[in-house]
Homo-oligomer: A and B are copies of this chain.
Amino acid sequence: MLAVAVEEARAGLAEGGIPIGAALFGRDGTLLGRGHNRRVQDGDASTHAETAAFRDAGRRPGYRDTIMVTTLSPCWYCAGLVRQFGIPSVVIGEARTFSGGHDWLAEHGVAITIVDDAECAELMTAFVAARPELWSEDIGSE
């Protein structure tokens, strides 16, 4: 499942954007939605990878049977999305380059899996080194 999120992250990078991707799956492995950060592409500060995947999945009565997969530890905004909508499981590519709200989600009963994937970490490490000001903007770190 992480492969879909990584494809999204790479697509974002190819567009000149921030290389973070995500996908929402059903528990049975069905892909429900996928997307990537669109700050640069759309001038949209509100579309992080997880929100893009969530939006792409359309309207749903609930999320009990879903899994959020993301290349990077979810920030507070995206962690809040997971908590509010009761997404029970989050698979995280890596939490080395940025550690967001995944411990808080775990405290609130969300199953957290950190893959510690080398490609995810390399994508972000290279991006943060190349565009530190853009990364700071994306996480509201003045």
Q: Are A60 and B45 in contact (CB under 8 A)?
A: yes
Is A43 at the interface (CB under 8 A from chain B)? Answer: yes
**In the complex, what distance in Å separates the CA atom of A55 from the CA atom of B51?**
12
Chain A 43-60 per-residue mask, 1 if CB under 8 angstroms from chain B, else 0: 111110001101101111
Chain A 128-142 per-residue mask, 1 if CB under 8 angstroms from chain B, else 0: 000000001101111
Please give the distance in Å from A35's CB to the nearest CB on chain B: 10
Would you give 16 A-B contacts (Cβ < 8 Å), ordered by A? A45-B57, A46-B46, A46-B47, A46-B52, A46-B81, A61-B142, A75-B84, A76-B84, A77-B77, A77-B80, A77-B84, A79-B80, A80-B80, A80-B101, A84-B139, A85-B140
